[in-house]
Structure 1
Amino acid sequence: MDSHNELVNTVVERIRDFHERKVPFKIYHGSTNSTRDAGFQRDKIVDTSKLDRVLKVDTTAKTALVEPNVGMDRLVEETGKCGLVPEVVMEFPGITAGGGFVGMAGESSSFRYGFFNQTANWIEVVLANGELVKASPTENQDLFRGASGSFGTLGVLTLLEIRLVERRRFVEVTYDPVSSIPEAVAKIEDCRANKEVEYVDAILYSANSGVIVTGRQTDGATGLRKQGFLKSTDPWFYLHAKKILKKNKEKPTKELVPIEDYLFRYDRGAFWTGEYAFKWFVTPFNRITRWALDHFMHTRVMYHALHKSGHSKQYIIQDLAIPVSRVQDFIQYVDDSFGIYPLWLCPLREDGKYAASPNGGKDSILETNEHLLNVGVWGPGPTKYPEFVEKNREMESKVREFGGVKWLYAQAFYTEEEFWSIYDRQAYDELRAKYHASNLPTVYSKTNAPLVEPVPDPSTWRGWLRHKTFGVWPISGVYGVVSTVLSKEYLLKK
């Protein structure tokens, strides 16, 4: 803990300096799993990138002390040495514990345990005035609750204690075919009541073809075929599931997957969005090319390329929590308006106050206990920015119409008035004032994309070159790939 305390003291001193000079700052983690455009000025950041260790695993209490910049792969590795695993593990290895908490991340065990922030017992936070405090359900409760979904706008998270469960070597995975949206939703709901099911999500390949994927941990003495997903020679998960579905559309198929391979099954190809990169570069999409380009198809690298290429302005990347009773209507809308498939479905534990950020919202979904289903919509959008914004805003409007909320890790396209008509600005501002955070960027300013496309400064040679060339295929994509090779500090402005 001595080393941890030294690093935290450095953060405290940095924040106190900003506070005394009344300078707003951002938190720099060294990487991101957000699809929003990000840029950090070196003289206006608090660097927490070195807070990246698992400090302690308590096998009796089944808890882990985790610094915020610990990636999911490192967290699973360290807790696994003690025969334990976090209750909720986000699907990309590079998603951090701190990011999962302040961003309210969830995954296929969230129907049972809730979002990642709901698996924390307490957190350590440096407030915006440099004060170091602890928050939990019994101590500074409003800060503990408010920090979830705050995206770092209430202070700097420096430590978490998270809950763990027993870990086994494998996950017995069941692929259950479905032929309609109502059937998919019904089977997912049935899984909630099945105590043997530890993990559940679904992939819809079309409105009449999909697969429900359930899992339970096992030590492997089942005689089932074993399948991995992390090696370059392994199949991408969604393609493997599709192949199973093609072979057997009538009854479930089971197999054994090593637990790490299951937890990070979507890393290679970032679910299925990696396929779009092959199409962009007019490259054959087959087993050989996926193997040859495997290094570039892991999410840590793909996020780097996404930010440097500017392609986040051309792809619809949205996760929406929709009440189960309206999921069919929403998917039909996506089908009619976007035609994007596959779609990802992930059931969430009902808890209205945790269904939106910051500090809950004001719409009816937050006042009911109806089950929520996350719908992941990821695919190509209009290439012209005004049309891109319009389509995203249309989807956001539909989400509200259907009583849902969206995850703010992705780009949001609300006006400020629209944003605060959804979320409780009064409660948020009161909390920021109480904890000295009023001078920090707001969650709206951090999460909302510009409604008018920013134009590079033509007075600099870099800005002029970017303005003249980035609309020309395939320059932006090539630039993004080259940047992944040449630079690690891709979020810091040069």
Structure 2
Amino acid sequence: MDAHNNAVASISKRLQKFYLQRQPFRVYHGSTNSTRTSEKNSDNTVDTSRLNHVLGVDKATKTALVEPNVSMDSLLDATRSAGLVPLVVMEFPGITVGGGFSGSAGESSSWRHGPFDSTINWIEIVLPNGEVVCASKSEKSDLFWGAASGFGTVGIVTLLEVQLRDAKGFVELTHYHTASFSDVRKKIQDELANPAVEFLDAIVFSPKSAVVCSGRLVNTIPIGSKPRRYLRRQDPWFYLDVQKRAELAKKPVVDYVPLIDYLFRWDRGGFWVARHAYKYFFTPFNRITRYLLDNYMHARVMYHALHKSRLSDTYIIQDVGVPFDDADGFFNWVDQTFNIYPIWLCPLRLRRDTPDAAHGLHANFADPNYPEFMLNFGIWGPGPTDYQKLVHLNRAIEQKVHELGGNKTLYAQAYYTEEEFWKSYDRPAYDDVREKYHASHLPSVYDKVKVDEDAKRKAMEGSRMPVVLRNVRPFQGLYGVYKAWRGGDYILQTKKTSALTVKPSKRDS
């Protein structure tokens, strides 16, 4: 805690200096799993990269005290040593606790527990004037919910208490194949009503083929069964394995997946986005090439390469939630407009349980009339080569989701005009929090997530790649791969070390 407190004091002092001048600042986290880059600049940047430790795991209260730059794999290393696991674990090992809290992250257990921010008990946050305060769901709840999904525009979160639950060794995962979108949507709704289900998502491979993946934690597997693995070089990619086996079977397929393999099942291949890299680089896509190129097919490496190459600027990368009543119509529109497959489906419980949550960007989530569940669509794939057409398609998604009363996850680039953006998000509630806690002079969430054409142009001009090759296939992508390789062992799947103290429960002592 001494090292933590010293780091927080340093951040506080730096923010005080900026606040006296009413100067906006940037936060350097050290890494990113967003579509936006994270750059270090000494002039107006606050470096929080040292805040990457698990400070304690309490077995009695089933909580973990965690700094914001702790990655999901490091957090799981710490909690599993105490026999515990977070209620919601984001799908990529490199996603951080702070990023999940500030960015509305959700996964297959979020239909039960809500987004990751709903599983946080309290936060320590340095306000823009340098004041260090704690906020929870019951004390300073306006600040807590204002910072949740706030993308760092209310202050700098420096510590979080994460809720945990008892861990088990395996996820019993049942795959149900369906032959139409309406069938997959109905099956998801049936599983939502099943109290035994703990994890739930689906993959749509085409209008006539989809698989619902429904899971629960178990400690043992039946005699004669073998664990289904997904994290080793020789293992299949999760979505390919599910597609092949579920489509061939005439009945539900049941697997027993080791817990960590399940939680990070999407890491190899980045869901399925990495498949596009094989096509981009004119490389055969088969078991041999996936085996040989495995180091480069993990999310940490892919994000690094995408940022350095700027190829992410040419992709459609959207996560949007729509009410279940409108899901069939939205799917038909996506199918006709984009024809991008597979599509990830994940039910999310977004409605908050208490009026005290009616603050910040998503104050409407606390409205009792707000839908309890949304169906999230993950739409990811190469866009048109014409940039204006790419913008048009992204804007079409945003407008369609707004029309249906849905919600867009803002980790991806936003193409809204400012007026359109604030029609979809609660500006008065968000501004109230920022005014009260001295953050009004900072850029807003809209300023932070909108596509910045000038920044994209400057990044390309600052590249060391020859001008004639910057946007030429495959040289643009090769530059990103080269930068990922130069990133060294950290990029190739090593993890930051976390300091850990495990507090024994009364029974253990």
Q: The TM-score by the shorter chain falls in which range?
A: over 0.9
**8 Å contact from structure 1 (residues 148, 357) kept in 2:** no
Report Cα offsets for 1:110-145 as digits up to 9, x if no partner.
Answer: 011001000011000000010000000121110001
Report Cα offsets for 1:23-49 as digits up to 9, x if no partner.
Answer: 211111111111135544332211111
Matched, 1:127 2:127: yes
Matched with 2:400 is: 398
Matched with 2:447 is: 445
- Aligned equivalents of 1:258, 1:304: Cα separation in 2: 28
Matched with 1:382 is: 384
Report Cα offsets for 1:226-256 as digits up to 9, x if no partner.
Answer: 11111111110000101112321x2101111
Aligned counterpart for 1:416 among listed residues 407, 415, 418: 418
Deviation at 1:54, TM superposition (A): 1.0
Report Cα offsets for 1:149-203 as digits up to 9, x if no partner.
Answer: 1000000000011111110111111111111111111111111121111101000
**SS of the residue aligned with 1:431?**
helix
Matched with 1:244 is: 245
Matched with 2:495 is: none
- Aligned equivalents of 2:226, 2:358: Cα separation in 1: 40
**8 Å contact from structure 2 (residues 28, 38) kept in 1:** no
Identity of matched residues, %: 49
- Aligned equivalents of 1:210, 1:147: Cα separation in 2: 36
**8 Å contact from structure 1 (residues 324, 370) kept in 2:** no
Which amino acid in structure 2 is aligned with residue 383 of structure 1? Answer: T
Aligned counterpart for 2:437 among listed residues 424, 435, 438: 435
**8 Å contact from structure 2 (residues 363, 429) kept in 1:** no
Matched with 1:34 is: 34
Which amino acid in structure 2 is aligned with residue 483 of structure 1? Answer: K
Matched with 1:314 is: 314
- Aligned equivalents of 2:256, 2:465: Cα separation in 1: 51
1:431–1:6: structure 2 CA closer, same or farther, 3 Å change rule? same
Matched with 1:88 is: 88
- Aligned equivalents of 1:457, 1:251: Cα separation in 2: 51
Deviation at 1:364, TM superposition (A): 12
Deviation at 1:448, TM superposition (A): 0.7
- Aligned equivalents of 2:34, 2:292: Cα separation in 1: 26
**8 Å contact from structure 2 (residues 201, 346) kept in 1:** yes
1:357–1:417: structure 2 CA closer, same or farther, 3 Å change rule? farther
Matched, 1:257 2:257: yes
**SS of the residue aligned with 2:228?**
coil
Matched with 2:505 is: none
- Aligned equivalents of 2:248, 2:152: Cα separation in 1: 47
Matched with 2:190 is: 190
Greater CA drift, 468-477 or 195-204:
468-477
- Aligned equivalents of 1:245, 1:331: Cα separation in 2: 22
Could you say what the CA RMSD is over the residues aligned between the two structures, in angstroms? 2.3
1:364–1:65: structure 2 CA closer, same or farther, 3 Å change rule? closer
Which amino acid in structure 2 is aligned with residue 17 of structure 1? Answer: K
1:244–1:465: structure 2 CA closer, same or farther, 3 Å change rule? closer
Matched with 1:298 is: 298
Which amino acid in structure 2 is aligned with residue 381 of structure 1? Answer: G
What residue ranges of structure 2 are gaps of 5+ in the alignment? 492-509
**SS of the residue aligned with 2:457?**
coil
Deviation at 1:450, TM superposition (A): 3.4
**SS of the residue aligned with 1:433?**
helix
Alignment of 1:217-296 (within 5 A): 217-223=217-223, 224-248=225-249, 250-296=250-296
Which amino acid in structure 1 is aligned with residue 146 of structure 2? Answer: G
- Aligned equivalents of 1:5, 1:64: Cα separation in 2: 17
**SS of the residue aligned with 1:455?**
helix
- Aligned equivalents of 1:7, 1:14: Cα separation in 2: 11
- Aligned equivalents of 2:221, 2:365: Cα separation in 1: 48
Matched, 1:136 2:152: no
Which amino acid in structure 1 is aligned with residue 236 of structure 2? Answer: P
How many pairs does the alignment contain? Answer: 487
**8 Å contact from structure 1 (residues 92, 267) kept in 2:** yes
1:453–1:390: structure 2 CA closer, same or farther, 3 Å change rule? farther
- Aligned equivalents of 1:315, 1:356: Cα separation in 2: 34
- Aligned equivalents of 1:232, 1:194: Cα separation in 2: 35
**8 Å contact from structure 1 (residues 352, 367) kept in 2:** no
**8 Å contact from structure 2 (residues 301, 484) kept in 1:** yes
**8 Å contact from structure 2 (residues 239, 272) kept in 1:** yes
**8 Å contact from structure 2 (residues 360, 431) kept in 1:** no
Q: What TM-score, normalized by structure 2, do the two folds share?
A: 0.91
**SS of the residue aligned with 2:43?**
helix
Greater CA drift, 61-70 or 189-198:
189-198
- Aligned equivalents of 2:363, 2:455: Cα separation in 1: 28
Greater CA drift, 13-22 or 260-269:
13-22
1:365–1:382: structure 2 CA closer, same or farther, 3 Å change rule? farther
Deviation at 1:405, TM superposition (A): 1.2
What residue ranges of structure 1 are gaps of 5+ in the alignment? none
Which amino acid in structure 2 is aligned with residue 342 of structure 1? Answer: P
**8 Å contact from structure 1 (residues 313, 385) kept in 2:** no
- Aligned equivalents of 2:33, 2:359: Cα separation in 1: 18
- Aligned equivalents of 2:425, 2:40: Cα separation in 1: 26
1:463–1:29: structure 2 CA closer, same or farther, 3 Å change rule? closer
Structure 1 runs of 4+ aligned residues shifted over 6 Å read 352-357, 361-366
Greater CA drift, 332-341 or 213-222:
213-222
Deviation at 1:439, TM superposition (A): 2.0
Which amino acid in structure 2 is aligned with residue 177 of structure 1? Answer: H
**8 Å contact from structure 2 (residues 351, 365) kept in 1:** no
**8 Å contact from structure 1 (residues 361, 422) kept in 2:** no
- Aligned equivalents of 1:156, 1:486: Cα separation in 2: 30
Deviation at 1:337, TM superposition (A): 0.6
- Aligned equivalents of 1:217, 1:193: Cα separation in 2: 17
**8 Å contact from structure 2 (residues 315, 382) kept in 1:** yes
1:322–1:269: structure 2 CA closer, same or farther, 3 Å change rule? same
- Aligned equivalents of 2:256, 2:337: Cα separation in 1: 38
**8 Å contact from structure 2 (residues 71, 94) kept in 1:** yes
**SS of the residue aligned with 1:340?**
coil
Q: What TM-score, normalized by structure 1, do the two folds share?
A: 0.94
Deviation at 1:455, TM superposition (A): 3.3
**8 Å contact from structure 1 (residues 357, 423) kept in 2:** no
Deviation at 1:456, TM superposition (A): 4.2
**SS of the residue aligned with 1:221?**
coil
Matched with 2:180 is: 180
Matched with 2:504 is: none
- Aligned equivalents of 2:169, 2:456: Cα separation in 1: 49
Matched with 1:75 is: 75
